[in-house]
Amino acid sequence: MITLKNIEKVYQTKTIETVALHNVNLHIPKGEFVSVMGPSGCGKSTLLNIIGLLDEPTNGIVEIDGSPISRYKDKELAHIRNQKIGFVFQSYHLINDLSVLDNVELPLLYRSGTSAAETRHLALTALEKVGLSARTKHYPTQLSGGQRQRVAIARALIGQPELILADEPTGNLDSVMGEEIMNILLNLNRQDGTTIVMVTHDENMAQKTGRLIRFFDGQQVSDAKTAAHEFQKV
Amino acid sequence: MIRHLFKLIWNRKRSNFLLITEIFFCFLVLFAVLSLIVYNVRNYNKPLGFEHENVWLLTMRPDTDSTALNRQTQEQIIQRAKGFQEIESMALTNSNAPFAFSQMNNDVSYGGKEVRANEYLVQDNFDQVMRMQVSHGRWFGQQDNASHHYPIVINKALQQQLFEGEDPLGKLLPRNDSSSYQVVGVVEHYRPSSEYTAEEPGFFNRIYLPRNESEFYGELLIRVKPGMGVEFEERMVKELSGIGKGWTMEVATLEKMRQNKEKMAKVPMIALAIICGFLILNVALGLFGVLWYNISRRNSEIGLRRAVGAASGQVYRQFIGEVLVLATFGLVLGVAFAIQFPLLQVFEVESTVYFIALGIAVGLIYLLAIGCAFYPSRQAAAIHPAIALHEE
């Protein structure tokens, strides 16, 4: 589904040149649940931004379903993000002035051809999937951290994306809530076949995914199947 | 998307309250100033009903209180004036000559209806001096000498208010004494106050000296041949002063008087426009600052929108759209207030004036809002999503 070839990302200021990613080669097939681990500043989020088409690599090629995205314009990249990718962030990124339902509907605002009734139906279905159908009219500030993250997952799900990119989705949650969120993601992967790439600092969470890639100083230092991989296959 | 924007602005109504209030007051000030400007411009484009070029106003102030003596001297003055080749025609008038700072009005009634109208006392050849066109009937003249009634020529505004659809010719309007006015003619327009004043109901009453024995009319309107200037004016005044010894004689061209009236109308208009301009500039800077601040506070939201599929152009349009929605909230309040002016006929100004001013004010507020939002929105659209998402 996604292939990264010789990816390099360098942040350049007038005085300093920071290498965030160096020579990253990665292939993530459809239906895989991949976790990415590494110390802070090792380039995990940068990697996620590049996979999510939010950032461009300094060098290298990003391919989605076999076609390189380097020749795509901003509008086309936005279209791919809208159609194929769902994002879940550590800090949820919900709009506090919109209700839970309106927050979930957000991606479909940028998708033409979906009627208001259809959008509402899809949003309710997504909220049901994450167990929040009773909170549709609440506002994010009225919810707990775990509930907010579930709203964020519902928002990522509404467009039925092939790929979900989760940047430390359990990072701000306690272990019980973190577990809940992880179960939702696992179910999505197992039941719907959604490809998930998750950045995490939690080894236990990472072990529940099928593949674990470790980063250090912008370089991919290991890439291995986890014990859960076999279970996933079963 | 429009529903989404309305919902977003409505849910943020508390934080947007000041902006909406600012837009509301800005609209009201604009509406007021534009109403004044539209009123003046519309009047300016209407015909005055007379030609003031080459017409002078000779004001004669006698040095005695004896009307009989003064009229005798005045008769000699007029006879001498008629002898000047440079003069085409002349007519006595009372002090409310065109563009003069004087007014006289009277109540006239017909069929139970009473209208307050301007009264202009003028001699028979006033229509020639001022080159006025009678659209219906005739101007008064010698044929009215034997009439028991006072012949009057009315303007269209008075005709419409007093007679509505009825033909006014020959109609008698009672005077304060036992006599009556009789309508002998109608003129389309007559706006002697200024080019910026609306047409008011008015009528011309005849100065017939044998009948008005106790009156002295000190204003003489003189139409001179084209090209007459100061040289002739000085010669004329000198010669006429020789007849009216001790009299004060002043000549003013109607053009000069028109310019004075124009200044009087323009000065408040310009002053208000300048004040309004400063106010709008302040509002614009305020709007710009608040929008800039609001947008910079919403970086993470911008990042999120980009992540879920908004292209930079859509972010740009969204922020412009938000400002337009904000302006709409302010304008809805403003229009609800302003619409009362035409509905209640405030200041007796034509409704069209208010509607035009309202339309322009709405357009200008939207332009102002777009202008103020343009740069901050562009900045918002240019924000890098990956960076914006990491700002919390």
Assess whether B266 and B166 both reside in one domain. no
Rounded Cα distance between B258 and B271, Å, is: 20
Per CB-CB distance under 8 Å, the chain B contacts of A141 are none
Print the domain residue range for B348. 2-45+260-389
B382–chain A Cβ distance below 8 A for any pair: no
Are residues B286 and B232 both part of a single domain?
no
Pick the CATH number of A2-233 from 3.30.470.20, 3.30.420.40, 3.40.50.300, 3.20.20.100: 3.40.50.300
Q: Hey, of A93, A112, A115, A141, which one would you mutate to test binding to chain B, going by the most B CBs within 10 A of its CB?
A: A93
**Cα B359 from chain centre:** 19
End position of a domain, from candidates B210, B238, B254: B254
Indicate if B175 and B215 belong to the same structural domain.
yes
d(CA A125, CA A196): 20
Q: How far apart are the first and last CA of chain B?
A: 25
Express each pLDDT in B347-360 by its tens digit: 888 899 999 999 99
Q: Is residue B50 part of a domain?
A: no
Listed residues B197, B231, B254: the one ending a domain: B254
Pairing relationship of beta strands A33-37 and A195-199 according to DSSP bridges: parallel
**Same domain membership, residue B322 and residue B240:** no
Q: Please, which residues have CB within 8 angstroms of residue B274's CB and are 6 or more apart in sequence? A: none
Total domains in chain B come to 2
**pTM to 2 decimals?**
0.78
Which residues make Cβ contacts (< 8 Å) with residue B320, sequence separation at least 6? B370, B373, B374, B377
Give the CA distances from residue A152 to residues A180, A197, B212, B294, in Å, rounded to whole numbers and listed in that order: 14, 16, 95, 23
Structure tokens at B217: 């009319």
Residues B100 and B85 in one domain: yes
pLDDT in tens, chain A (234 residues): 889 999 999 988 888 888 889 999 999 999 999 999 999 888 888 899 999 998 889 999 999 888 888 778 889 999 999 999 999 888 888 998 999 999 999 999 998 888 889 999 999 998 998 888 888 899 999 998 889 988 998 998 898 899 999 988 888 878 888 888 888 889 889 888 889 999 998 898 899 898 999 999 888 888 888 877 665 544
Residue B370 lies in a domain: yes
Q: Are residues B247 and B264 in the same domain?
A: no
Q: Report CB contact under 8 Å: A102, B301.
A: no
B66 plus B166 within the same structural domain: yes
Instruction: Verify whether the Cβ–Cβ distance A74 to B312 is below 8 Å.
Output: yes
Among B216, B235, B254, residue at a domain's last position: B254
Instruction: Give residue limits of the domains in chain A.
Output: 2-233
Whole-angstrom distance, CA of residue B179 vs CA of residue B173: 9
Pick from B67, B72, B59: nearest CA to B243 = B72
Answer whether residue B20 is part of any domain. yes
Contact B108, B117 (CB under 8 A): yes
Residue located via tokens 């301007």:
B118
**ipTM of this predicted complex?**
0.89
